[in-house]
Every structure is written in structure tokens, then in C-alpha cells.
A and B are shown apart, each in its own frame.
Chain A
Amino acid sequence: DQQVKQNSPSLSVQEGRISILNCDYTNSMFDYFLWYKKYPAEGPTFLISISSIKDKNEDGRFTVFLNKSAKHLSLHIVPSQPGDSAVYFCAAVNDYKLSFGAGTTVTVRA
């Protein structure tokens, strides 16, 4: 029973446009949320995070939004670049444990 869900397995976006990745969770005890990026044959790398006491965190082209009442978070990438083509995982932390979503594969078209 997955507590973190990424319902869109893939996303295709044109270079320069905005990519919006969505994530829903069911456990209200999650207190920290992270996004990871993964290229083939490599381990995931950290992208951006947000504490449950905030609703927005921005880092360069990446912004994460958290809506606690809806148990929903999203990652915005603006502008999208070819190097952003990867799998993106949403993750949530509770009681020393991380729960990951299934991932969204982003393809940035030239």
C-alpha cells in the first residue's frame, strides 16, 4: 500500500516551457518532503526539499509547493532544459523512514 503516489508515469515538455510534476500522499504524519532526480544506471540525486511547516521552497529553476490540506505536493521546473530529462521521485519522511513514489519520467523535447 503505497503512501506516496505519483500518478503520472511520464511527462513530455518542450524545451523552455514549464514542467509540473505532481505527488500525492496519504500519511498525515509525514513531516518532510523531497524530490530526487535519477538518470539511467545511476543512483538518485537530491533536487529540492520542503518541510511540512512551509508551503513553498525555491531553488533556482526548481520550486516545490506543498498543500497539506490536500496532501499534495508539486515540483515546477522553469524553464525546462534537455538535461532535465530523467526520472523524478517524490519522497516523504516519517519516523526515520523515507517513502518514495513510483517516479515520473520527464522528457524535454528540443
Chain B
Amino acid sequence: NAGVTQTPKFQVLKTGQSMTLQCAQDMNHEYMSWYRQDPGMGLRLIHYSVGAGITDQGEVPNGYNVSRSTTEDFPLRLLSAAPSQTSVYFCASSFTSSDTQYFGPGTRLTVL
């Protein structure tokens, strides 16, 4: 099992550009989520999904879109990148929201 994989590992964008952060898991987990980690803030939930076709907003959803067309994949789209979106992004998956969440290695995003 590869677990939770995220691509790319690093990305630099210019303000206004769009991009998609990829996340995939091979553990047949129903619950998937995206977090951003900023200094002094811990991890903040952006969006989550309790199963294919179902997504919902977390604590900081503005500027981000998600979709869940398959159980395995949960991409995060930045519509128009802003410097405030400079952060480290983590994807996670688990069987349910209360189960152990397995995190990917993270994507470090810089928006200039």
C-alpha cells in the first residue's frame, strides 16, 4: 500500500494563477480531508468528504474547491492563487472522521 500520496511536493505560483493539488489513497477510506498548516495556527480544515460524490466545507474553505468523483482521489483546486494561500497543505484519509487519519507528506505552496 502506498497510503496517502500527494503531488506535487513543492509548487510556486504567481498571484492569480490556478492549480490543482492532487491527493490519492489506496486504503479504501471513505473520509478524506484537506488541511493547511501555517505557523502558530496548527492544521486548519479546508474541505472534507465523507464519501464519493459528497463534499463539505471546513473551517477555511474560501478560495478553494474540491470534488470527489472516486473513493481514491480528492483533488484540491485553487481558483485564483493569492499570497495568503502560501502554506503547507496536507491531505488525509480515514474510514470515518473519528478513526485514525493517515496524512500525506504535504505540498509546500508559495504564492508570489
Contacts and interface: CB of A to CB of B under 8 A. Distances in A.
A65 interface: no
For the residues of B in contact with A, the DSSP-based class is strand
B76 interface: no
Q: Which range contains the number of B residues in contact with the other chain?
A: 20 to 34
Contacts of B40: 9, 102
Given A96-B31, A97-B48, A99-B59, A46 B100 contact: yes
B50 A96 contact: yes
Contact of B90 (A6, A44, A49, A99): A44
Given A43-B105, A45-B103, A96 B43 contact: no
Interface string B31-52: 1010100001111110010100
Interface of B: 4, 31, 33, 35, 40-45, 48, 50, 56, 58-59, 90, 92, 97-98, 100-106
Interface of A: 2, 4, 6, 9, 31-32, 34, 36, 41-46, 49, 89, 91, 93, 96-103
